[in-house]
Amino acid sequence: MKLTGILMHLQAKNNSMLKGKKIVLGITGSIAAYKSCLIIRGLIKRGAEVQVVITPAGKEFITPITLSALTHKPVISEFFSQRDGTWHSHVDLGLWADAMLIAPCTASSLGKMANGIADNMLITTYLSMKAPVFIAPAMDLDMYRHPSTQHNLDLLRSYGNHIIEPESGFLASGLEGKGRMEEPEVIVDTLNKFFSEQSSQKSSGNQTSSSCGEKHGGELTGKRILITAGPTYERIDPVRFIGNYSSGKMGFDLAEECRRRGAEVTLIAGPVALECSPEIKRIDVESCAEMYDAAVKAFADSDAAILSAAVADFAAESVSPTKIKRGPDGLTLKLKPTHDIASSLGKMKKPNQKLVAFALETNDEENNAKGKLERKNADFIVLNSTRIPGTTFGSDDNKIKIISRNGSHEYDKKPKTEVAVDIINELEKIL
């Protein structure tokens, strides 16, 4: 078993796009700094060379001795290492690295990076960096969603930085929400994918990269995009409903990606435990009828609609005003079809409007999606399948195929934040 594990590790290292890459890892003063050890281990396992630069506050959470033991390099924190004129050159680090990763990155460091406040070694290294920069924010949910933080993130994206979005989850404050730093293995995989795509683009002569949620310069500025997300709940009685397992993550990631590119976004959300940026106009609904009314109204003034919601296809023909009691004969429900939102918007669609629909299939996926493309009068269909483990409902990852009248393109399994980039890239082409 040990020999098998060693062989698998060597094979993964040989196949890694991080092999031989020089990575500067910036660590700031966050409780998530302990995860930097796992990031270092993941990078080194894939063959990368890691140099840590840590802020003074970062050393309060994790010691340089630990980090040095993992990287086999002295940790850099101060401008001057001794009193004999020896100093650390942030310029040399900027020239040495193939990439810089700042994980965790606090709200304070985000602000300094966005506004060029070079008061510590990490920020001066960032400002001198010639290589791509990846930033993994980590902070409490209120700090993350504050307009100043979102503004700083938008500035950093506009500079060409890659933001590795935080996750929603349990936070150090005891609260739950978005702000938890992405998991180390996902961060390492993000860098590996970046270098893999970069290598593929060089091979094909295409130098354009849109990975990791990089802002594309506001190409959607002035565009109004309608997005539906999450499930709908169709009531049976005051305490029961017909629904599905949709978390809404895909739709919310699409909304954020459109916002980053300058669009005016209206997000119609079913019952989900997610939050969005304050710049997004959010309309919360419960039933298909409510989502239908909101979507029809918003679509009239929209340039495009992306219908990612998992709308219930059926509702109870009659809803009991009181709780239905358990009986020996069980419960029989008579169901009626709900509104077909995609079909309705397809009939409303003007020549200058675009419509993107989703198809979640369990079998005969591509034929079903092609049929939906025609029936709904959509410009393209985003197809995903329940047969692919670790994707679709409740997952942070997805694997899609985009189907249009001009053909289809299949994408690798990846985080939904990156899937959103692929989908909006396709939408931009036809807007």
Q: One of 206, 244, 352, 363 is an active-site residue; which one?
A: 244
Q: What is the pLDDT of residue 81?
A: 59
pLDDT level of residue 233 (50, 70, 90 thresholds) = very high
Distance, in Å, from the CA atom of 237 to the CA atom of 255, rounded to the nearest integer, reads 32
Phi, psi of 77 (to 5 degrees): -135, -45
Residue at which a domain ends, from 189, 212, 235: 212
Q: What is the pLDDT of residue 304?
A: 97
If asked whether residues 61 and 24 sit together in one domain, one would say yes
Nearest to 188 by CA among 341, 331, 46: 46
Q: What is the pLDDT of residues 393-416, one digit of tens each?
A: 767 788 899 999 988 899 888 888
Contact indicator for 223, 263 with CB cutoff of 8 Å: yes
If asked whether residues 278 and 391 sit together in one domain, one would say yes
In a domain, 324, yes or no: no
| Residue 133, beta-bridge partner list | 100
Q: What is the pLDDT of residues 61-104, one digit of tens each?
A: 999 999 999 999 999 988 655 554 445 566 778 888 999 999 99
Residue 79 half-sphere exposure toward CB, CA atoms < 13 A = 7
If asked whether residues 163 and 223 sit together in one domain, one would say no
Q: What is the pLDDT of residues 241-283, one digit of tens each?
A: 999 888 899 999 999 999 988 999 999 999 998 888 888 999 9
* CATH assignment at residue 91: 3.40.50.1950
User: What amino acid is encoded at 261 in this protein?
Assistant: R
Length of the chain: 431
If asked whether residues 149 and 196 sit together in one domain, one would say yes
If asked whether residues 38 and 175 sit together in one domain, one would say yes
* Exposed / middle / buried, residue 411 (Cβ in 10 Å: 0-12, 13-18, 19+): middle
In a domain, 331, yes or no: no
pTM: 0.54
What's the structural domain count of the chain? 2
Q: What is the pLDDT of residue 218?
A: 63
DSSP 66: H
Q: What's the chain's average pLDDT?
A: 87
pLDDT level of residue 133 (50, 70, 90 thresholds) = very high
The domain of 222 spans 217-312+338-430
In a domain, 317, yes or no: no
Residue at which a domain ends, from 191, 212, 233: 212
Distance, in Å, from the CA atom of 88 to the CA atom of 64, rounded to the nearest integer, reads 16
In a domain, 395, yes or no: yes
Q: What is the pLDDT of residues 333-362, one digit of tens each?
A: 999 999 999 999 999 999 999 999 998 887
If asked whether residues 202 and 234 sit together in one domain, one would say no
Distance, in Å, from the CA atom of 251 to the CA atom of 101, rounded to the nearest integer, reads 27
Query: Is 183's pLDDT higher than 90?
Result: yes
If asked whether residues 26 and 57 sit together in one domain, one would say yes
Contact indicator for 279, 258 with CB cutoff of 8 Å: no
Q: What is the pLDDT of residue 11?
A: 46
* Average pLDDT for 298-317: 95
Residue at which a domain ends, from 161, 194, 212: 212
Query: Is 213's pLDDT higher than 50?
Result: no
Give catalytic status of residue 115 as yes or no. no
Query: Is 121's pLDDT higher than 60?
Result: yes
pLDDT level of residue 207 (50, 70, 90 thresholds) = very low
If asked whether residues 250 and 130 sit together in one domain, one would say no
If asked whether residues 59 and 133 sit together in one domain, one would say yes
In a domain, 5, yes or no: no
Of the chain, the percentage scoring pLDDT greater than 70 comes to: 89
In a domain, 330, yes or no: no
If asked whether residues 67 and 125 sit together in one domain, one would say yes
In a domain, 7, yes or no: no
Locate 109 and state its tokens. 């460091």
Least reliable range by pLDDT among 75-79, 191-195, 422-426: 75-79
If asked whether residues 143 and 256 sit together in one domain, one would say no
Least reliable range by pLDDT among 27-36, 138-147, 169-178: 169-178
Query: Is 10's pLDDT higher than 70?
Result: no
* CATH assignment at residue 364: 3.40.50.10300
* Average pLDDT for 212-224: 65
In a domain, 333, yes or no: no
If asked whether residues 124 and 271 sit together in one domain, one would say no
Distance, in Å, from the CA atom of 24 to the CA atom of 32, rounded to the nearest integer, reads 18
